[in-house]
Amino acid sequence: MKYRELGKTGLKISEVSFGTWAIGGSWGKTNDKEALASLDRAIGEGVNFFDTADVYGNGHSEELLAKATKGKEEEVHIATKFCRGADIHSSDTYSYENVRSFCEKSLSRLNREAIDLYQIHCPPLEILQNGKVFEVLDRLKEEGKIKHYGVSVETVEEALLCLEHEGVDSLQVIFNIFRQKPLEKLLPEAKQKGTGILVRLPLASGLLTGKFSQGHRFEEDDHRAFNENGESFNIGETFAGLGFSKGVELADELRWIADGRISMASAALRWILDHEEVSCIIPGFKSEKQILANLAALDETPFSQEERWRLKSFYQQKVKNSIRGPY
């Protein structure tokens, strides 16, 4: 395993870490036994950082992480998120009393005394502009309930606004071959300020694995079935905002990235890790097989400058104008 610094937190986290949305819910059927076996395999391979949220399976993924990391609390770091279990547009949701309540409930499910990284879960721009929630997080940090805090954002605009707050130690962003906008300004500024970058949806909801074909049908409780057009939450969280059909079409044009490499998926993850500003990627998983497939990115062949220019041109000419919603 290789490790990188998480901004200025002092934490060194595994380059390939994992998100736990899929084992909590909204990605089709889940299996706790398999999820726990997968978490154990990841930890055994050197993974020391996991991302979760209080709304993933209504706290279920936090409970699974508590079981998987029992006795390893000092070695394995957990990041969780809050706010989306309430009205994200109401300022009351971000009051000290409510955020402390969210925090204590997560601590109880995680069976920990302090949260390593506590993140606001994709709040509206106006909440970030108001800024009072950062004062609340500073207070929780002083109380020892959280060690560090960050923000999971939907847009580059939101991320740049967060960088203005000194206490923000990390930003969780959507960044992949289909979503290259962070390269323009965000990644350089985050590096300059010493802010960690966690990359979610690195495979664009599975599109960049190359395993899907037109006409594929997802299970009803999979967000790829019920949120393709942003029906339930931000449209960018599903298929990078491209829609499934367009995403498959574009992914087919990227199959060349697997030439001479392990797989299309590991190549897509390697492209992200080739950017030194990134602290880690947090792909999802449901099985040990997927854990190992994602870890293959560590041994994948880096992209040449010529390949990187080719992918940049592909994004500029064929992708960015097809992304729906603000990003």
User: What is the CATH number for 166?
Assistant: 3.20.20.100
Q: Is residue 327 part of a domain?
A: no
At residue 309, the pLDDT reads 98
Six token digits for residue 289: 């097989």
Report phi then psi at 81, rounded to 5: -135, 160
User: 14 forms bridges with which residues in the sheet?
Assistant: 3
Q: What pTM was computed for the model?
A: 0.95
Q: Is residue 26 part of a domain?
A: yes
With beta carbons less than 8 A apart as the criterion, state whether 2 and 264 touch.
no
The two beta strands, 115-121 and 146-152, are parallel
Q: How remote is the C-alpha of 24 from its chain's centroid?
A: 14
Q: How many distinct structural domains can be found in the chain?
A: 1
Distances 293 to 40, 64, 86, 278 between C-alpha atoms, Å: 15, 21, 35, 20
Q: Is residue 43 part of a domain?
A: yes
The span from the CA of 42 to the CA of 77, in Å, is 13
Q: Is residue 51 part of a domain?
A: yes
pLDDT tens for the 327 residues of the chain, in order: 999 999 999 999 999 999 999 898 755 677 899 999 999 999 999 999 999 999 999 999 999 999 999 999 999 999 999 999 999 999 999 999 999 999 999 999 999 999 999 999 999 999 999 999 999 999 999 999 999 999 999 999 999 999 999 999 999 999 999 999 999 999 999 999 999 999 999 999 999 999 999 999 999 889 999 999 999 999 999 999 999 999 999 999 999 999 999 999 999 999 999 999 999 999 999 999 999 999 999 999 999 999 999 999 999 999 999 999 999
What is the CB-side half-sphere exposure of residue 67 using CA atoms within 13 A? Answer: 14
Q: Is 68 left (phi over 0), alpha (psi -120 to 50) or beta?
A: alpha
The span from the CA of 6 to the CA of 174, in Å, is 17
With beta carbons less than 8 A apart as the criterion, state whether 284 and 19 touch.
yes
Residue 134 belongs to what domain range?
3-322
- DSSP calls for 69-135: TTT-TTTSEEEEEESTTS-TT-GGGGSHHHHHHHHHHHHHHHT-SSEEEEEEES--HHHHHH-HHHH
Q: Is residue 81 part of a domain?
A: yes
- For residue 177, give the DSSP letter: T
With beta carbons less than 8 A apart as the criterion, state whether 239 and 245 touch.
no
Diameter over CA atoms, the chain: 54
Distances 85 to 30, 67, 90 between C-alpha atoms, Å: 21, 23, 12
